[in-house]
A and B are shown apart, each in its own frame.
Chain A
């Protein structure tokens, strides 16, 4: 595997379910990100981890819970979601977070539908 991978690619869940999204990067990067992409809206940054430490949480509801066990893996735990949470969830990584970092590399995303 190369680059950034995400599983599952598609997920349908009810509002009472608990599920997790997984992201893995094979680039040796130290920063990882979760984004939400809704149709015709800008990418919304949800969480940032730099060297396994969470540096940003952009007022994301507590029904989204991130976990970063090491620099290569990132999870997003989901519980009691709402229909408006249906979107494409993108994971990204970069060399690090800050002025020295350049581009971010994205995974293919998980298309989430909440019923």
Chain B
């Protein structure tokens, strides 16, 4: 079967750095996505990786290793507004997104 694993919950301190890991086993691979979802709101797109390596976008970076079935989302200079759930999703061979259950990130002052 297809599976996306990510930690259920993480806690970090304002101003610090946090890394959220995602491992996947899917039938085929057509890209990996990270989304942010604040409580009661719609998921919003953060990043897309289809080739190995690091993609940087401001305070957020996303890394992919296709051979290891592994990705991480790195958040720097954490702000209170970064408290949210972070969803990892992989586009499989049928071009459908397979989703992880999300990582709830709690930021403490």
Contacts and interface: CB of A to CB of B under 8 A. Distances in A.
Contacts of A61: none
A98 B43 CA distance: 20
Contact of B42 (A4, A48, A99): A4
A104 B91 CA distance: 11
A43 B87 contact: yes
12 contacts: A4-B42, A42-B98, A43-B43, A43-B99, A56-B96, A90-B42, A97-B95, A103-B33, A103-B45, A104-B45, A104-B97, A106-B42
Given A40-B8, A90-B42, A102 B48 contact: yes
5 nearest A-B residue pairs (beta carbon): A106-B42, A103-B45, A42-B99, A43-B99, A42-B101
Contacts of B4: 42
B48 A99 contact: no
Contacts, number: 43
Contacts of A56: 94, 96
Interface in B53-109: 87, 89, 94-102
B69 to A, nearest CB: 16
What does DSSP make chain A's interface, helix, strand, loop or mixed?
loop
Contacts of A106: 42-44
Contacts of A99: 30, 95
Given A40-B8, A109-B42, A98 B95 contact: yes
Given A42-B4, A43-B43, A103-B33, 20 more contacts: A4-B42, A40-B8, A40-B101, A40-B102, A41-B101, A42-B99, A42-B100, A42-B102, A45-B96, A45-B97, A48-B96, A56-B96, A98-B95, A99-B95, A101-B95, A103-B45, A103-B48, A104-B97, A106-B44, A109-B42
Interface string B1-27: 000100010000000000000000000
A24 to B, nearest CB: 14
Contacts of B44: 106
A79 to B, nearest CB: 26
